[in-house]
Structures are given as C-alpha cells and as structure tokens.
Amino acid sequence: MAVAVFDVGKTNVKLLVVGTGGEILERCAIANSVVEEGGFRRHDLAGTEAWLFSTLGNLARRHEIEAFVTSAHGSAGVLVGPGDLVRAEPVCPMLDYEQDIPEWLRTRYAEEGGGFEDRGSAILHGALHQARQLLWLERAMPEVLTAATDYLCLPQYWAWRLSGVAAAEITYLAAQSGLWNLTGDRASAIAVNHGWTHFLPPFRKAYESLGPVRPDLAERHGLPGDMRILTGIHDSSANFYGYQAMGFSDFTVLSTGTWIVGMSDGTPFERLDPARGMTCNADPSGRVVGGVLTMGGREFSAITGAESVEVPGSFEAVRQMLATGTMALPTFGADDGLFPGTAGCGRIVGPAPEGDVARKSLAILHCALLSSRCLEALGGSGTVILDGAYIRDPLFAGLVAALNPGVRVFVNARADGVALGAAQLCSHGREPLSEAQPERAEVLDLPDIETYAATWKARAVANCKETT
C-alpha cells in the first residue's frame, strides 16, 4: 500500500507516491502557474486540477494507493459557494500572495489586522496574510462573499475537491493567516469584526480522514474508490512533524530554500519577537511551535547572480574570506526579516569575490550566518536538524556547526522532507515510515569564524544606516 502526497509549493507542484517504508516510489511535477485576471494575480486552480487528476489516475494504475494527503505553502485559501464543487475554477480567485497590493489595503490591514497574537508574525510583505486577502476580496467582489459558504485553506481546498467534505485545520490557520489566534484558541478580531467566522468549517486534525474519494472522481479518473482523503497540513509543519514522528523533542529544524524556515518546540511564545522575523506556528496537535523566517534563497541568488550555481563551495575560499573580511551584509531582498530596516540595503564589503566558486562560497557562508542568527533568535535548543536545498553542498552544514559550538547539528540528506512528513500523517500514532535518521554534521576547523561572525552581526545591524 502507498500514500499519494500532493505537495503544493509556491514555485512548483509535486505529486509523489510514498511507500510503506518511506521510499519515494514516483515523483511528478509541474510549475505552479498564476494568471493575471480582473485586477488580481491568481493561481490557475483549474489547470492544476486537470494535471492532478490525470496524474493521480495514472499513478493509481501502477501503485496501490490507500490514501491522499496535501501539504501546501502558506497564505493561500479559497472562498467557495454553491456550485463550486462541480467546476474546476471557483468563482472567487485564489490570490497569489507575492503580488503588490493597493495602498488602501496596506493601510487598512495595518489598522484592523490586530497584534502578534492574531497574526502570528509581523505584517508581512505583498499580499501575505489571508485576512488581508479577504479584505481585498470583500471590497472588490462583495457579491462573492455574500454567496460564499466556506473558506478553505489550500490543503483543505484540495481535500474538499477530492472528498466533498469541508474542514479547517490548525497548522495552516496558525501559519500567519491572520484569521486565527492560536494561543487564545479563537478566531482573530478582524475575522470576528467582519463576520468571516461563519466561513470557517469544523476543525479536523491534519491526520484525520474526511472520507473516501468522491465516487464520480473515482469513476472518471480511475482512482481507487476506497482511497482515504486526509485533512492535510501546512508544509513547514509537515516537515517538523516528520521529525517528531522519529522521536525528536526539544529540537529545532532549519529548512532551507527560497525561505530559511526555523521551527522549534522549545521556544516559548513569550520569546517570539515579530520585529526579528519570528512567527508563531503549530504542530498537528495544536501546540505552539516557535518559528523564524528569512528569505535566504533571495540572498543566495543576489550574491551568486543565479538561483543555483552548479560548482561546489570551497573551504579554502571561505577560509580566505574570514582572513580578508569579505562578507555579504543583509538584506538584498524586500523582506528584511532578521535585521529590521535593512531591506534593499544588501551589499558585499571587503575584497570582491571573483568567479563562480568564490561567489558560491560567499553565498553559502552568508546563508549559514543567517541560519545561525535564526537559531539565536529561537533560543538554546541543543539539537538542530538541517534540511532542504542548502545541504546539497556539505560546506553549509559544516559552517552552521562551526558557528554554533556545543550544539548537536544533524543533516537530513533525504529529499522531500515535507512530503515524507505529510505521508507520515497516514500512520499517525504508529511507527515512523522510515528508520533512516539524520546524520551528525562534521564541524569545520575555522578558528577565526567566531570573530568573523561577531563582526558580521554588528555590521549587519548597522548596514542600513551605513548606506543611507
């Protein structure tokens, strides 16, 4: 028996088949496309659905799939109403959170969006926060809100498409939606004041089965009629849950990619500081998980000049940079995260890196410093697990270990941690899908790194003032 995991990332959409031992049996992917329409940039749900159903049907002919579960990026949801279940594109668009927003919306959300307890973060850029998206739709499409019956977060939207059952789920609503106050276990003030609470369906656990696949879909696409549809989960929480299932506790996970996402079950709510890019998240049971966000991938590509560089980083190049003082100071992107006031102020100081190897090495060093700053913000967890894009270069894990003496740094070299964590939901309460454990990272021998890191931190904090 196997599990189909629909992993909806911001850039790409993947459908994976995960076996009973945690092995990836097949993986298919397409771009997560968006469409400009009606003054919005929206996700192409109809196009994604056509690909999903066709691909799932093909996979079901090759594998015995017992369950289907969705993990998805945050800040996405869909208002649905009568008739939407029988059409692939709902009347109300699912907004792309990376688009610019009108000034009236920025001002109004700042006034009505509530505090950290309601948002779970500082006010983020673009159209992030689902509550802000609903404010926009409320003005632009009031007739749609009047007719709507349910607001479905992205994993639950796809669960509804396959099962016909509407549900809400805590990890997704707690992921900076602006609609739910996790510590108060209640809807946010803006949701109450605007009457949106009646759009929220009954809460179900991420690992609960909503029922079998809809019979009409099973017949049309060749899906097993008894395939269970699970509620689904926020992607970062899925990744964290996978390590919980392995038996880890009082630990921090640093997932790396477009975002560096830090999550720790040992960080108390009172320590979370939205001014430093910190967030409040939840695990599938609803417990608070401290978080921190910074757009490391944007920093990496700004330094290297590309999304990825095939050449590996160089230990000798890093050692030379420590000696000469070459460093990248944040923040190159629009989200200043860990260093308030530095957005758009990123620059390289000291002798400029020359060639792909040097630029790649500086980018890895910079992202290791950002990661170390994330760990500092979250507090003194003695166990850290690294996963995601950056660990493909062994230089990264060694640098993080060198920057954090006394901390046990592990590396999970297995890809698709989000998908494996989501697949684990189908075996909730039982043994982990895989016996493979993260491996201990080797600490690089760089005696000058602590002095370099202290200088980098001081200059990073002052960087925006220095450049204005």
pLDDT(286) > 80: yes
Residue 77 CA, distance from chain mean position: 15
Would you tell me how many other CB atoms lie within 10 Å of the CB of residue 448?
11
Span 311-332, mean pLDDT?
A: 96
Q: Which of 57-61, 123-127, 206-210 has the lowest mean pLDDT?
A: 123-127
Span 458-468, mean pLDDT?
A: 80
- List the alpha helices (DSSP H) in 148-234: 154-163, 170-173, 189-193, 215-221
The whole-angstrom separation of Cα 5 and Cα 18 is 7
Identify the pLDDT of residue 309.
Answer: 72
Identify the pLDDT of residue 335.
Answer: 78
pLDDT(151) > 90: yes
Give, as one character, the DSSP assignment of residue 246. T
The whole-angstrom separation of Cα 128 and Cα 301 is 22
Span 238-264, mean pLDDT?
A: 92
H or E element, residue 241: helix 235-245
Span 264-275, mean pLDDT?
A: 93
Contact assessment for residue 405 and residue 441, using Cβ atoms and an 8 Å cutoff: no
* Percent share of the chain, pLDDT over 70: 99
Arithmetic mean of pLDDT over the chain: 94
User: For the chain, how big is the Rg over CA atoms in Å?
Assistant: 22
pLDDT(467) > 70: no
Identify the pLDDT of residue 436.
Answer: 75
Integer CA distances (angstroms), 127 to 40, 106, 132, 215, in order: 11, 9, 7, 36
Identify the pLDDT of residue 393.
Answer: 92
Task: Note the pLDDT tens digit of each residue in 94-105.
Answer: 999 999 999 999
Span 39-43, mean pLDDT?
A: 93
Task: Note the pLDDT tens digit of each residue in 353-398.
Answer: 999 999 999 999 999 999 999 999 999 779 999 998 889 899 999 9
Pairing of strands 383-388, 252-256: parallel
* Percent share of the chain, pLDDT over 90: 83
**CB neighbour list of residue 142: distance below 8 Å, 6 or more residues apart:** none
Q: Is the pTM of this model over 0.85?
A: yes
pLDDT(468) > 60: no
Task: Note the pLDDT tens digit of each residue in 442-461.
Answer: 999 999 999 999 999 999 99
Ordered structural domains, the chain, with CATH: 2-231 (3.30.420.40), 247-467 (3.30.420.40)
87 or 178, higher pLDDT: 178
The whole-angstrom separation of Cα 285 and Cα 174 is 12
Task: Note the pLDDT tens digit of each residue in 166-183.
Answer: 999 999 999 999 999 999
**CB neighbour list of residue 262: distance below 8 Å, 6 or more residues apart:** 252, 253, 254, 255, 291, 292, 293, 371, 374, 375, 377, 378
- Confidence band of 45 (pLDDT split at 50, 70, 90): very high
Identify the pLDDT of residue 307.
Answer: 63
Task: Note the pLDDT tens digit of each residue in 220-237.
Answer: 999 999 999 999 999 999
